[in-house]
Structure 1
């Protein structure tokens, strides 16, 4: 059977999620939005004390947990400089060269949002050409947030309500062109939106679950402990995340990858075989791939935490991971097809 994703609804959902800043730890607004949307579809949710959403979406026996993460990489205010610029530190695997010249939003404790951008200390080619060309972008040395405010001192910045520890989020710059999805944070909001499509399909009966299925949206994947919470009856754990494209990768933007291994562990061989069978049955265009040396998913921490489960992962090929990322709607559709088939087998 072939399962088809509702492209229009999917893209609308993705754009809504991308518009909500959710740097790791800054989960409240996106969690509240997703809880409201999931419960509007008729599914009960529970939230983790640390942040995270679990929904039991039905089915009986042999429980499966499917996860995607709603947190993103970003920054935090590290120091307020005497000249009114802001030194930041990264949250998760963000590199300064991926954020340079990007617009940002500083979220103050009071809830006020102040805009700015990331620039070099010596940013003008007309004045400091050598420094700009020769220096590597570095949050500790030469890359700062410049606020869209008339500030000339640290006191001026603090009067706006900005303080050490405030979150700084990059604007996603989402666009959809000729089938290509381009944005910061395709990882992993593109896959959270895929899980929302699965919920629509379960509700309308186009996907009939052959087993009990939980959906888990985590908010700490980017720092390594998002997936460590598992309902006690879960037997299998499926992470849905991006498949990174590179010189020795088989992953493609228009295909879904079945992960064989990442930088931590091999994935469960029996689940890999089952997922490949689901790919063949559904007609999904899939490839196997291995992701080393710097990649892991939320399925890994569950094993480290000691749960006796099988784990696996799938996802669409995605370029420029942790930068301005790009995938294709075909890769999204193939991911959905394979996942929908798997929960009905």
Structure 2
């Protein structure tokens, strides 16, 4: 049986998620939104004390946990400079060269949102020596946030309610053209939207579960401990996350990737073979790929935490990971086909 993603519904869901800032640890708004949507479909849910959503999707026997993460990389206020600019530091693997000239939203303690832009000290071509313009952007030395406010001192900034520790989120710049999806944070909101599609199809009876399935949306993947909580009856753990495109990678923006290895471990060979069989049965266009030296999924910390589980991972080929990312609806559709076939087998 071939399982097809509802493209219109999927893109609407993805755009809604992209509009909600959720830098790692800043989970409340997105969690509340997703809980409302999932409980509206009739599924039993509970939340983790640290933040995260667990869903009982149904089915019986041989429990499988499927996870995607709702947290994103971002920034946090590090220091308020005397001239009213703001020094920031990264949350997760966000590098300054991926933020230059990006618009941002600062979330204050009082829930006020103040906008700004990431700039370099030596940003103007006409008044900057060539050597300075060629400097690599760096949050410690030459990259900071300029507010869209009339501020000229640290006191002016603090009067707006901004303080050290406030989250700074990049605007996603979500857009779709000819099936290509471009945005910050395709990693991993695109796969959260895929899981929402699966829940819709389970509810509507289009996907009939062949085993007990939990859906887990974590909010700490980008700093390494999102996947460390697992229901005690789970036997298998499947992460759905982006597959990074690079010079020596087989991943493609139009295909689903079955992960063989990441920077931590090889994925379970038996589970990997089952996923490949599911891809073939579903008619999905897929490749196998390995990701080193800087990649991991939420399935990895579950093993480190000591759970006796098999782990696997699949996901859409995605360009420019942790930057302004791009994938194609075909890759997400192929990912959905494998996922639906695997939970239904």
**TM superposition score normalised by structure 2:** 0.99
Residue in 2 aligned with 1:116?
A: 116
Query: Any idea what the Cα deviations from partners look like across 1:16-73, whole Å, max 9, x if unmatched?
Result: 0000000000000000000000000000110000000000010000000000000000
In 2 relative to 1, CA 132–18 (structure 1 residues): closer, same or farther, beyond 3 Å? farther
Runs of 4+ in 1 over 6 A off after TM superposition: none
- Cα contact 1:108–1:161 (8 A) shared by 2: yes
**Within 5 A, what are the aligned runs for 1:98-177?**
98-177=98-177
Residue in 2 aligned with 1:296?
A: 296
Residue in 2 aligned with 1:179?
A: 179
Report the secondary structure of 2:344's partner residue. coil
Query: Any idea what the Cα deviations from partners look like across 1:318-340, whole Å, max 9, x if unmatched?
Result: 00000000000000000000000
Q: Distance in 1 between matches of 2:311 and 2:75?
A: 31
Q: Distance in 1 between matches of 2:67 and 2:87?
A: 34
**Within 5 A, what are the aligned runs for 1:66-77?**
66-77=66-77
Residue in 1 aligned with 2:14?
A: 14
- Cα contact 2:104–2:115 (8 A) shared by 1: yes
Residue in 1 aligned with 2:28?
A: 28
Aligned-pair Cα RMSD in Å = 0.5
Q: Distance in 2 between matches of 1:68 and 1:215?
A: 8
Deviation at 1:134, TM superposition (A): 1.9
Residue in 1 aligned with 2:5?
A: 5
- Cα contact 1:122–1:131 (8 A) shared by 2: no
Residue in 2 aligned with 1:249?
A: 249
**Within 5 A, what are the aligned runs for 1:1-345?**
1-345=1-345
Query: Any idea what the Cα deviations from partners look like across 1:54-97, whole Å, max 9, x if unmatched?
Result: 00010000000000000000000000000000000000000000
- Cα contact 2:261–2:289 (8 A) shared by 1: yes
Query: Any idea what the Cα deviations from partners look like across 1:278-309, whole Å, max 9, x if unmatched?
Result: 00000000100000000000000000000000
Q: Distance in 1 between matches of 2:318 and 2:134?
A: 30
Structure 2 unaligned segments of length 5 or more: list them: none
Report the secondary structure of 1:199's partner residue. helix
Report the secondary structure of 2:144's partner residue. strand
Report the secondary structure of 1:343's partner residue. helix
Report the secondary structure of 2:58's partner residue. coil
Q: Distance in 2 between matches of 1:144 and 1:338?
A: 43
Q: Distance in 2 between matches of 1:279 and 1:132?
A: 51
Q: Distance in 1 between matches of 2:28 and 2:300?
A: 24
Report the secondary structure of 1:172's partner residue. coil
Deviation at 1:132, TM superposition (A): 4.5
Report the secondary structure of 2:87's partner residue. strand
Structure 1 unaligned segments of length 5 or more: list them: none
Deviation at 1:122, TM superposition (A): 1.4
Deviation at 1:133, TM superposition (A): 2.6
Q: Distance in 1 between matches of 2:181 and 2:154?
A: 39
Deviation at 1:129, TM superposition (A): 4.0
- Cα contact 1:106–1:113 (8 A) shared by 2: yes
Deviation at 1:123, TM superposition (A): 1.2
